[in-house]
Structure 1
């Protein structure tokens, strides 16, 4: 994927500057166990503030960390291998599914903020996912084109 090209489109459409993340922020992303493709994107093109397009919010690193540590559903889901990278305007979470890797890619799923994920089994969580993209790259393409699902199907 051409990260500079998609980053330019995101910046233009969301009217937010994208900049390289600090070395400390890159380390913070690595601690979340995010795939290298996600880390590579943020290391070069971290939003300077929340980038919103059609009700989807892509966060700077501080926001990504907060979503996975301090807020639900991310605080519950990240412990189970679903790391939040963005949210809908309603608070539902777009997560990288670390539990499944296909051809070197992890799917991006949408999870409801209205479910108590910590009380569900791994199988129940898996059956409650809404897959929105087959890879982080496809997620970015759908994000910038405004084609991401923002409705949770199984929540």
Structure 2
């Protein structure tokens, strides 16, 4: 995994990691460390960590299913009130070109009928203020804006 910048007071960070569950954990730990060094209250975790963990796990389990050569780039920017996460991978595109499980769908169906992975996307939709997905240049681009708890 690589990260940049090294300035702990920065409000942005780029991480590149192997598309594995251990790579995902390393991304989350590195981000927490960076936030802690910057003295940011979000360093203790919260909704941002759930959203990013779920998105990263979906990339590993679905975009890179059957592959062991995947990489994920995570570009992060944050302020006191929100975190912007842009995740890029060259795995398989999302079926239908859109993330599943929006909150409207989640409200109308029984959770026990959700396919594997469906509940996680509903959680992501619930916890973000903006979500955008596009396929460009052979890569998946997932952009998430996550409100941060001011406490």
User: If the length of structure 1 is used for normalisation, what is the TM-score?
Assistant: 0.29
Larger Rg: 2
